[in-house]
Amino acid sequence: MKKLTLVLVTLFVVLALVGPAFGSISRADARRATTITYLASQDWIKQSELDLAAKFEDETGIHIDYQIIPSDQYFSVLQTKLNTGEAPDIFGGQSGKTDLAVNYDITKNGVDLSDEEWVARQDPLVTDQVTVDGKVYGMTLWDTSASWIIVYNKEIFADLGLSVPTTYEEFKAVCQAILDADIAPIYEPISDGWHHVLWFPELGPRYEEMTPGLADELNANEAIFADDATMLTALTQLKEMYDLGFFGEFAMADAYADGPEFMANGEYAMTVRQSAFVNIVETEFGVPASTFGFFVMPLADNQLLNVNPAGPSKFIYSGSEHIEEAKEYLRFLARPENLQYMIDNTPEFASLNFTGVTSKYSEEEQAFFDAYADKRGTVYQTAVNYLNPQWMEIGQDLSAMFIGDIEPIDVLQHIDERRADMAQAAQDPAWAE
């Protein structure tokens, strides 16, 4: 009996000593089994982030399951998941105050990240676009310093004796000269549903220059898109460019992802991209970045640089069972060394909107941006409420305009109608009847 008692006492002591260890092993095993789901649109997740996600898993045991959706389907898929309570742990979305309210109902579906350390290191203008009612809901891990501009092949221009255009008529003449030389003037991929929309709202600075205070009037419901002559001019010119064949024979089927190859082989002379695009062409196809130059989109005679503090952002779903793990992943990405890794290993990024990192603008890129230091303004998808949330619908309207199903004025009227619907659904007092 004494031996049995001694054995039991010994067993209890052993369990007391190793029990906590067994408990911690159990918790570690559970942690290693954790998977965070992350829903994102095509082209939003770069290889550098995938590399960092693998490093994060090695460090923490937490696996990131990326679920990539084609861009023309993404927002409908996301909204369905949010509406049915089946959203992923992290979801991607375009920042912008009306997007957060209209597309994501962020105060319901998002997690307040205001107390996260990295928020203080994020550009305040960028942070403002993921903030609602004083709470920060998103991380914008994107090169928001870049602008969508026209990247052109300087060698083609030189061979044809062409100069950078500063008016629409000059631009049209340049495109025609390139087309006459059996080169497609502009690579404009329409099949993705979003890229060709850039030509319209990115001209916000020009609209504002021609009608000062227009954005404020639109937000106050004191003006409409269909009444603006500059917008109608821009869309009419865009339609003319398509009709004249400036976007190439296969624009409707062309895809965004194929742009670097077509620009590298000289089949196209221009495209609308961000300046760091030239690094992709050099990295993937060996064509020196110095082959290309930049100028602003000259529709409606625009000569102002389009600036946008908003961009693809990361949000944590309020219904997630892994909120703390998701926060940990965002903290990991926001470490200065990991931000720098993304800059150094993402050809599309020349900088990121955080302090403590080093940008990689070339001298030519820096000179271009410096030239517009006093000639710039905010794009309308950020400056005007209820515009960015209808981006894909605008894309559908522009496609219909290209093929002649509707007219430029119809595009503007449709934008006004959708804005009114969204504003009323949001109970915006400016649209109160």
- CATH number, residue 181: 3.40.190.10
What is the mean pLDDT of the segment spanning 44-60? 97
What is the mean pLDDT of the segment spanning 38-60? 96
350 in a domain, yes or no?
yes
Statement to judge: residues 181 and 165 lie in one domain: yes
130 in a domain, yes or no?
yes
Domain containing 68 equals 35-143+310-360
Please count the structural domains in the chain: 2
Reported as a single tens digit per residue, the pLDDT across 372-412 is 989 999 999 999 999 999 999 999 999 999 999 999 999 99
Cα–Cα distances in angstroms (integers) from residue 167 to residues 68, 153, 203, 271, 373, in the given order: 40, 19, 14, 17, 20
The pLDDT of residue 1 is 41
Statement to judge: residues 273 and 222 lie in one domain: yes
26 in a domain, yes or no?
no
What is the mean pLDDT of the segment spanning 110-121? 98
CB 180 within 8 A of CB 360: no
61 in a domain, yes or no?
yes
272 in a domain, yes or no?
yes
Statement to judge: residues 282 and 174 lie in one domain: yes
- Mean pLDDT of all residues in the chain? 92
| pLDDT exceeds cutoff 80 at 10 | no
Statement to judge: residues 186 and 257 lie in one domain: yes
Residue 2's pLDDT band, with cuts at 50, 70 and 90, is very low
| pLDDT exceeds cutoff 90 at 21 | no
The pLDDT of residue 72 is 87
DSSP element (H, E) containing 184: strand 184-187
Of 139, 56, 35, the residue nearest 92 (C-alpha)? 139
| pLDDT exceeds cutoff 50 at 16 | no
Reported as a single tens digit per residue, the pLDDT across 193-207 is 999 999 999 999 999
DSSP element (H, E) containing 9: helix 2-32
| Neighbouring-strand partners of residue 315 | 91, 138
DSSP element (H, E) containing 418: helix 408-425
294 in a domain, yes or no?
yes
In terms of pLDDT, which residue wins out, 1 or 302?
302
Among the residue ranges 255-264, 326-335, 354-363, the one predicted with the least confidence is 354-363
Statement to judge: residues 167 and 297 lie in one domain: yes
What is the mean pLDDT of the segment spanning 278-301? 96
CB 90 within 8 A of CB 315: yes
Q: List for the chain the helix, strand, coil content (%; round to 5).
A: 50, 15, 35
Picking from 360, 385, 401, the residue at the C-terminal end of a domain is: 360
| pLDDT exceeds cutoff 70 at 25 | no
Q: Is 88 left (phi over 0), alpha (psi -120 to 50) or beta?
A: beta
What is the mean pLDDT of the segment spanning 24-49? 78
Instruction: Show Cβ contacts of residue 23 under 8 Å, excluding neighbours closer than 6 positions.
Output: none
> Looking only at Cα atoms, what is the longest distance across the chain?
106
| pLDDT exceeds cutoff 50 at 366 | yes
Torsion of CA 160, 166, 167, 173, to 10 degrees: 0
CB 274 within 8 A of CB 143: yes
Tokens matching residue 43: 């082209």
The pLDDT of residue 146 is 84
Residue 32's pLDDT band, with cuts at 50, 70 and 90, is low
Statement to judge: residues 129 and 269 lie in one domain: no
| pLDDT exceeds cutoff 70 at 18 | no
The pLDDT of residue 414 is 98
Picking from 360, 394, 422, the residue at the C-terminal end of a domain is: 360
Statement to judge: residues 72 and 84 lie in one domain: yes
Statement to judge: residues 289 and 318 lie in one domain: no
**Half-sphere exposure in the Cβ direction for 1 (13 Å, CA):** 0
CB 294 within 8 A of CB 149: yes
27 in a domain, yes or no?
no
Statement to judge: residues 131 and 186 lie in one domain: no
318 in a domain, yes or no?
yes
Statement to judge: residues 322 and 421 lie in one domain: no
**Half-sphere exposure in the Cβ direction for 376 (13 Å, CA):** 19
Q: How far apart are the first and last CA of the chain?
A: 89
The pLDDT of residue 31 is 52
Location of structure tokens 């271009």: 368
The pLDDT of residue 85 is 95
Statement to judge: residues 289 and 246 lie in one domain: yes
Statement to judge: residues 381 and 283 lie in one domain: yes
- Determine how many CB atoms are found less than 10 A away from the CB of residue 47: 11
Percent of the chain's residues with pLDDT above 90: 85
